[in-house]
Amino acid sequence: MYSDLEEIIRKTVVKLLELAATDLPEDVENTLKVAYEKETNSMAKSMLKSIIDNVLVARKWRYAICQDTGTVIFYVKADPKIPVVSDLPNILRRATAEATNLIPLRPNAVDPFTEKNSGDNTGRYIPWIEWDIVKDLGYIEITALLKGGGSEAPSIAKTLTPAEGLKGLVKVVLETIYESGAKPCPPVIVGVGIGPTADIAINLAKKAALLRPLGIRSSDPNAAKLEEILLEAINKMDLGTHGVGGVTTALDVHVEYAYRHPASFSVGVVVSCWALRRASARIYPDGKVEYISHKVL
Ligand code: SF4
């Protein structure tokens, strides 16, 4: 038996997965439109036009934006005083299985040993959940992310020496993007993380790349400057949309950092394809739901 609030959360999560799969967030769509206006390579321009048309058709008919509906990841910010918080993993799992059937989502959860696909996008540790427990927040905020498999190909974490530092970081990021070519379906969004260990760096890179709206610079002036430098350098590579050349290879670069260890300078690079699919909502203890990424009537 599930409480009313649990049912509201389950339904909201199914809706978030539908929005993420079918309705590209406004910031990503607007950045694609700017890239289309700026593009000088005719083949890249026509591909950007197809991407934008595809986004409009998917939204109108509630079709998946891409056949790869990705790995389901949730970022949860929760007030520990709200009673259902400890049940959220179960609710998110149930909602994921239900959404896979309803929307539908492509079943993308595969046992790496047996190669068996679970069929409903759930499995060991999947959907993946990142937690942020915030005292006196007053609500639960859930962001659903669908992370495409192809754009994961270039993602890396590497620990440099402090002497290699920022110059080494720039080299790692530029080599990673250049060598990935058309594999991650450019134009891409690049997340760069810095920290004391490889796992912290890549975790920050992922959060920065996927959650911060495009066009918003880091509030830290050093990180913001690095974002501008990397974005300009990547867009000079002439890889362009789907690797055909052009002035936009990356729609944006986001940098996030933690203080590093004196002996290590770890760098994480996470890439998202242009189909950066995310949707967020806040759910209050009285059952009120507020969608914060999309307009829902
Ligand atoms: S990388 Fe992105 S756009 Fe390309 S196939 Fe995967 S999900 Fe689709």
**DSSP result, 84-120:** GGGGHHHHHHHHHHHHHHHTT-----B-TTT--B-SS
Nearest atom within ligand 1 for CA of residue 70: 7
- pLDDT tens, 220-252? 999 999 999 999 999 999 999 999 999 999 999
**Torsion-angle region of residue 138: left (phi > 0), alpha (psi -120 to 50) or beta?**
left
Q: Indicate the top mutation candidate among 151, 183, 188, 272 to test ligand 1's pocket, ranked by most ligand atoms within 8 A of CB.
A: 151
Q: Indicate the top mutation candidate among 24, 65, 66 to test ligand 1's pocket, ranked by most ligand atoms within 8 A of CB.
A: 66
CA of 278 to the centre of ligand 1 (A): 14
Give the helix/strand (H/E) hosting 43.
helix 42-61
- List the residue whose alpha carbon is closest to atom 4 of ligand 1: 185
Segment 5-18 shows an average pLDDT of 97
Can you give the pLDDT at residue 207? 87
**Ligand 1 within 6 A of 176 CB?**
no
Is the model's pLDDT at 129 over the cut of 80? yes
CA of 5 to the centre of ligand 1 (A): 34
pTM of the full predicted structure?
0.95
CA of 275 to the centre of ligand 1 (A): 7
Across 148-152, 199-203, 265-269, least confident range: 148-152
- pLDDT tens, 153-169? 899 999 999 999 999 99
In Å, how far are 97, 190, 205, 255 from 103, measured between CA atoms? 10, 28, 29, 33
- CATH level 3 topology of 4-23+65-148+276-291: Dihydrodipicolinate Reductase; domain 2 (3.30.360)
Query: Which letter does DSSP use for residue 239 in this model?
Result: -
| pLDDT band of 2, cuts 50, 70, 90 | low
| pLDDT band of 297, cuts 50, 70, 90 | confident
Is the model's pLDDT at 210 over the cut of 90? no
For the chain, the domains span 4-23+65-148+276-291, 150-272
- pLDDT tens, 52-65? 999 999 999 999 99
In whole numbers, what is the pLDDT of the chain averaged over residues? Answer: 96
Q: Indicate the top mutation candidate among 210, 273, 278 to test ligand 1's pocket, ranked by most ligand atoms within 8 A of CB.
A: 273
| pLDDT band of 208, cuts 50, 70, 90 | confident
Nearest atom within ligand 1 for CA of residue 151: 1
In Å, how far are 11, 74, 124, 127, 207 from 118, measured between CA atoms? 22, 19, 10, 12, 26
Instruction: Collect all residues with Cβ–Cβ distance below 8 Å to 208 and sequence separation of at least 6.
Output: 191, 192, 193, 218, 254, 255, 256
- pLDDT tens, 63-88? 999 999 999 999 999 999 998 999 99
**Ligand 1 within 6 A of 150 CB?**
yes
| pLDDT band of 141, cuts 50, 70, 90 | very high
CA of 65 to the centre of ligand 1 (A): 9
Can you give the pLDDT at residue 203? 96
Nearest atom within ligand 1 for CA of residue 185: 4
Can you give the pLDDT at residue 39? 97
Is the model's pLDDT at 280 over the cut of 90? yes
Determine what percent of the chain is predicted with pLDDT higher than 70: 99
**Ligand 1 within 6 A of 148 CB?**
yes
CA of 113 to the centre of ligand 1 (A): 24
CA of 209 to the centre of ligand 1 (A): 16
Is the model's pLDDT at 1 over the cut of 60? no
